[in-house]
Structure 1
Amino acid sequence: MRAQVAEIVFDCGDPARLVRFWAELLGGTPVDRSPDWSYVDPPGFVRIAFQQVPEGKVAKNRLHLDLHAPDVSAAADEAITLGAARSGGLVTDDEGDFQVMLDPEGNEFCFVSG
């Protein structure tokens, strides 16, 4: 038997705030199932859920999302207007560009063009 990914869950301090950021970034309607659990179903992607935990983020994520964007700089600028921040500078190599970003609670994700 093979399992299938049902959803990707982020631990966080404020699920309602984070789900709205990701819904604006990826599309979909934010849903607050309870005060400690929210989710969004982005078009063409698996559900992303946000679970409230008491502790804050203290280290780099062991897993992050790479989001394809034809114009990485423009995508980063737009994400910043939604509450994200850049982490480091734009990196360009033979495969294209990428930019490491932080969501409003500091979770890493990347915009990639290649």
Structure 2
Amino acid sequence: MASVKQFQVTFDCADPERVARFWCEVLGYVVPPPPQGFASWKEFDGSLPPEHQGSRFACVDPTGVGPRLFFQRVPEGKVAKNRVHLDVRAGTGLVGEERLATLQAECDRLVALGAECERVLPADDDNESCIVMRDIEGNEFCLD
């Protein structure tokens, strides 16, 4: 039996394109080309029935290494803590004050994009420091 080697991460949200473009900025991802026969995503979206327009968007890692991120519109807002979240690896290999300064600089960049800093978790005996954040629709993620 073959094992799955690729996956995508799906976000439920109110405004798929807006959230997708936020995550493009966070991760250095890009919007893939529109489907064959369409000059733009706007043109493709306009070809859909009105109830499906603006209902989905995606972004991809331009290197092809990271998973595709897919964003789908849902009618309800976020009401509870995420059961799954992304860890944005901004401080890999760094420790102590250097790590915290790097994480804080990335936090400041993401806040300027519309993210919220929820709390800083300082290093302890078991873990290095990380910063818990929320994206532009309130989905939790960590800078680590």
RMSD of the alignment, in Å? 1.6
> Normalized against structure 2, the TM-score is what?
0.71
Q: In 2, Cα distance between the equivalents of 1:91 and 1:106?
A: 22
The within-5 A match list for 1:1-114 is: 1=1, 2-31=3-32, 34=45, 35-42=54-61, 43=63, 44-70=65-91, 71-94=102-125, 95-112=127-144
Tell whether the 8 Å contact from 2:15 to 2:73 is kept in structure 1 after alignment.
Answer: yes
Please tell me the residue identity of whatever aligns with 1:102. R
Select the structure that is richer in helix.
2
Shift of 1:69: 1.1
Question: Higher mean Cα deviation, 25-34 or 66-75?
Answer: 25-34
Q: In 2, Cα distance between the equivalents of 1:59 and 1:4?
A: 30
CA deviation string 1:42-69 (max 9, x = no partner): 2431001100000000000000011111
Aligned residues: 112
Tell whether the 8 Å contact from 2:120 to 2:129 is kept in structure 1 after alignment.
Answer: no
Q: In 1, Cα distance between the equivalents of 2:28 and 2:80?
A: 28
Question: Higher mean Cα deviation, 1-10 or 28-37?
Answer: 28-37
Q: In 2, Cα distance between the equivalents of 1:93 and 1:49?
A: 35
Q: In 2, Cα distance between the equivalents of 1:87 and 1:21?
A: 17
Structure 1 segments unaligned to the other structure (5+ residues): none
Shift of 1:78: 0.6
Structure 2 segments unaligned to the other structure (5+ residues): 33-40, 46-53, 92-101
> Normalized against structure 1, the TM-score is what?
0.88
CA deviation string 1:83-110 (max 9, x = no partner): 1001123422243210000000000000
Please tell me the residue identity of whatever aligns with 1:110. C
Please tell me the residue identity of whatever aligns with 2:103. V
Select the structure that is richer in strand.
1
Indicate the structure (1 or 2) with the bigger Cα radius of gyration. Answer: 2
Q: In 2, Cα distance between the equivalents of 1:20 and 1:30?
A: 8
Moved over 6 A (4+): none
